[in-house]
Amino acid sequence: MNVRSAFEVPASREELMRRYDLGERQFPGVDLSGEDLSGVTLDGANFEPHSWFDDATFDGASLRGTSFRECNVKCASFVGADLTNANFELASIESINLKDATVSGVRCAGASFCGVELDDNDKFF
């Protein structure tokens, strides 16, 4: 007997956080556009591929080792977020705010950038 469990994309911020708290880390294709995720912890979450974060707010969030690989991250705010070792490879990144964010070890090979706001001392590239 072959039993396949079908992955269901979290339908809301609340569902995502509940599933993360239960230990789930794989969230491909999630759409968190317009969501306020300020202060959340999503360390090690994997949103690749094809997740959407248009106009999402991650201010003060802990996103250590989180993968946004092959995702759309547009007009998102990461002010004061911890993005240590986060992965943005092949992502579409447009008009995001990284002011006061921790960006050490961030990977972004192959990503497309437009309008990224950094502090003067940040080394994101």
Q: Convert the pLDDT of each residue in 54-112 to its tens digit.
A: 999 999 999 999 999 999 999 999 999 999 999 999 999 998 999 999 999 999 988 88
Instruction: Please state, in angstroms and rounded to a whole number, the distance separating the CA atoms of residues 71 and 117.
Output: 19
Q: Are 69 and 48 in contact (CB under 8 A)?
A: yes
Domain ranges of the chain: 28-116
Count of all residues that appear for the chain in the document: 125
Q: Convert the pLDDT of each residue in 5-49 to its tens digit.
A: 578 999 899 999 999 999 999 999 999 999 999 999 999 999 999
Q: Hey, CA dihedral for 34, 68, 3, 16, is it positive or negative?
A: negative
Please indicate, yes or no, whether the overall pTM of this predicted structure exceeds 0.95.
Answer: no
* Secondary structure class of 16 (helix, strand, coil): helix
33: buried, middle or exposed (CB in 10 Å: 19+, 13-18, 0-12)? middle
Q: Does domain 28-116 have CATH number 2.160.20.80?
A: yes
Instruction: Please state, in angstroms and rounded to a whole number, the distance separating the CA atoms of residues 9 and 87.
Output: 20
Instruction: Please state, in angstroms and rounded to a whole number, the distance separating the CA atoms of residues 12 and 36.
Output: 11
